[in-house]
Amino acid sequence: MDSISLFVSGRLCLFGEHSDWAGMYRSVNADIEKGLAIVTGIEQGTYAIAQKAGRFIMCSGGELSTDEHWECEMDSEKLLETAQNGEFFSYVAGVASYINDHYSVGGVKITIIKRDLPIGRGLSSSAAICVLVARAFNRLYDLGLSTEGEMFAAFKGELRTPSRCGRLDQACAYGIKPVLMEFDGSEVNSREIHLGGTFHWVVANLMSSKDTIKILGDLNRSFPFAENELDRKVHEALGKDNRQIVLEAVRMIEEGNAEKLGELMLRAQRNFDEKLLPASEELKAPILHSILKDPMITKWTYGAKGVGSNGDGMVQFLAKSEEDAWQLQEYLQNEKGFQTFTLTLKPSQGVRRAVIPIAGFGLRLFPATKCIKKCFMPVPDRDGIIKPALMIMLEQLVDAGIEEIALVIGRDDLSFFESFFGPVSEDIYRSLPQGSRDCERTIQRLRGKISYIFQDERKGFGHAVWLAREFANEEPVLLLLGDFLYRSDNGVNCCRQVIDAFSGIGKPIVAIAETPLDRVSNYGILHGEWSEEGKIMTVDSMVEKPDPEYASECLGVPDSSGKDKYYSTFGQYILTSDVFAELDSEIKQHDAEEGEVGLTAALDRIAKDKGLTGFVPDGRSYDFGNPEEYRNAFANYS
């Protein structure tokens, strides 16, 4: 690709400040509690255009700093020299040097076109620019990094500067959604938090100063071991106290209880002041504490607390309503002279669950499938590691924000899956190289997101999908075919693209791809009209494996030049409760008739009665369910 547009938001730590670096000390002192924080992206951030270049170049129209342009050869030593000098460009140089050390890349030119994110206010402006650089390299050079991979590269890059960021700073990579992050030594685990209601935040810039380096230096003196009463209180505040508050906050967010969440904000601030403030003079923060006590503000808010390091940088308020948020903004701006912005988090028709039917035997890959399940067939991934195909699918689902995954399997096959997702022995783990150890940890994290649905009778693909109706629980679900792999062409994985499309459409979606006429008899073929040519189709019919003659007469979709093209299933679907209701009717009818239950007929009825959308992802799918296509996937997927 010639150039890409990028946006990386700032991040707001709703709860759990400082617990990220405190949790890192567990590698030295196992008695320290794991760190826990709730972080969300905000609407303010950094906008840029990135393209390949012969050197590493950063430029802007004066938005970045007093310097409008900086460039350097893609030479790690020279980049590292800039990284260590502590100026603004040290951040981007640090990330570029890390990427250059670990990946085969050329240069990148990044042009900042807009930035509305306040600098030095506890909103991770430095982490945002680091993530932006990592994302530019990742997408331009097709590095195959997940969101977590971009975060890690940004973190390691910023560590090459005089800055000492924590691990939650890079959570801006997730975008505008609340994320629960756990910090255990060098390990970071995260999951998206489901919003049970709407929350209105107002965040204000206190227009003062704070010395974050001094605050962190003072607090770090209490680690890794508590040597006095002050140290013990610091450990408690960032450990068990924080963990209890954060877990309660997660529950309040999931229940949609804004009033109780506001009370937790006040409790968290009181605990911070009681146990952490004595450890650093800088935390006295007179402006912050004055505004927290302002009686005018309480009538509009459920709670408030400091942001970032809790100095006189930023303050966050949880307003009682949208109108209250507006009144609060007016007061803070007009009466106090503060800069403010709002953040509204509300439930959407988000997709949190995914289903993969994989109960089939894999006859076309026999005799390999006599000893290995089809979904475990090995494929070289884009990171160079040979993985079971299923693992590649699961990693992409998690990267797309999926929280729960149901595998539809045969009951007799459970032992295969338990064996794979079970931990290896300690002896084997110690013998593995670092890259393989990372894979084993990934497998164990995936294990916690998986549940099994048993298909005891083989009544067709539609029947396998119907079995997941209770798992779906009236929510939209992402359905993946169990013998397809998906590769993005734009850096956003195909699952994420389909989920994002659904968020703007709200109707069932079938991901589609152009298919030659002589191959239509292998797939479900869709017909409709473009609402956005080459991207969004309003589907009016769907036919399972039509012969080419019928497809030529009835299923061609003309492009702008009038030429007919044919579109088959890409292997991904978003199914709503309407689809499960159609399948339910078909299952009841099937009980009195012979034959298998298909998904295509149900989707065809949905297209005619309720509305069905075809969406063209920017990517390719690989059908590895037969020998020819498996050879293609093995040779070309990575």
Tell me: do 483 and 588 sit in the same domain. Answer: yes
Domain-ending residue, one of 164, 191, 218:
191
Domain-ending residue, one of 191, 214, 229:
191
Tell me: do 357 and 308 sit in the same domain. Answer: no
Tell me: do 262 and 384 sit in the same domain. Answer: no
Tell me: do 155 and 285 sit in the same domain. Answer: no
Strands (E), 16-153: 35-53, 56-60, 69-72, 107-115
Q: What is the dihedral of CA 219, 224, 227, 230, to 10 degrees?
A: 30
Spatial separation of the C-alpha atoms in residues 512 and 573, rounded to whole Å: 9
Tell me: do 164 and 203 sit in the same domain. Answer: no
Element (H or E) spanning 185, and its range? none
Whole-number pLDDT of residue 473 = 80
CATH number for 144: 3.30.230.10
Whole-number pLDDT of residue 2 = 61
Spatial separation of the C-alpha atoms in residues 545 and 338, rounded to whole Å: 63
Per DSSP, the three-state class of 219 is: helix
Q: Which among 571, 532, 533, 567 is positioned nearest to 551, based on CA atoms?
A: 567
**CB burial of residue 394 (10 Å; 0-12, 13-18, 19+):** buried
Mean pLDDT by groups of 10 residues along the chain of 638 residues? 74 90 92 94 82 91 58 94 85 94 94 70 69 92 84 90 75 82 88 87 86 86 95 96 97 95 96 94 89 92 86 88 91 92 77 90 82 89 88 91 90 89 88 85 85 86 91 90 88 89 87 93 91 90 92 91 92 92 82 72 89 92 86 87
Spatial separation of the C-alpha atoms in residues 459 and 492, rounded to whole Å: 35
Per DSSP, the three-state class of 559 is: coil
Spatial separation of the C-alpha atoms in residues 381 and 383, rounded to whole Å: 5
CATH number for 619: 3.90.550.10
Tell me: do 561 and 629 sit in the same domain. Answer: yes
What pairs with residue 405 in β-bridges? Answer: 354, 450
Q: What does residue 271 show for φ and ψ, rounded to 5 degrees?
A: -65, -40
Pairing type for strands 557-558 and 536-544 reads unpaired
Tell me: do 283 and 428 sit in the same domain. Answer: no
Spatial separation of the C-alpha atoms in residues 122 and 96, rounded to whole Å: 24
Domain-ending residue, one of 303, 326, 345:
345
Tell me: do 269 and 407 sit in the same domain. Answer: no
Tell me: do 503 and 405 sit in the same domain. Answer: yes
Give the number of domains in the chain: 3
Whole-number pLDDT of residue 591 = 60
Spatial separation of the C-alpha atoms in residues 143 and 53, rounded to whole Å: 16
Spatial separation of the C-alpha atoms in residues 6 and 492, rounded to whole Å: 11
Spatial separation of the C-alpha atoms in residues 7 and 492, rounded to whole Å: 13
Tell me: do 326 and 410 sit in the same domain. Answer: no
Output b/e per residue, 179-205; b: 16+ Cβ within 10 A. bbbbbbeeebebbbbbbeeebbbbbbb
Q: How many CA atoms lie within 13 A of 137 on its CB side?
A: 32
User: Tokens 């000893």 map to which residue?
Assistant: 371
Range of the domain at 30: 3-191
What pairs with residue 318 in β-bridges? Answer: 201, 303
Whole-number pLDDT of residue 534 = 86
CATH number for 281: 3.30.70.890
Tell me: do 513 and 609 sit in the same domain. Answer: yes
Going 18 to 24 to 30 to 35, the CA torsion angle's sign is positive
**CB burial of residue 614 (10 Å; 0-12, 13-18, 19+):** buried
Spatial separation of the C-alpha atoms in residues 248 and 246, rounded to whole Å: 5
Q: How many CA atoms lie within 13 A of 562 on its CB side?
A: 0
List helix spans (H) across 25-146.
Answer: 76-83, 89-102, 125-140
How many CB atoms neighbour CB 575 within 10 A? 27
Spatial separation of the C-alpha atoms in residues 12 and 341, rounded to whole Å: 12
Cβ atoms 442, 395 nearer than 8 A: yes
Spatial separation of the C-alpha atoms in residues 149 and 103, rounded to whole Å: 13
Tell me: do 100 and 219 sit in the same domain. Answer: no
**415 token code pair:** 């032992």
Whole-number pLDDT of residue 173 = 78
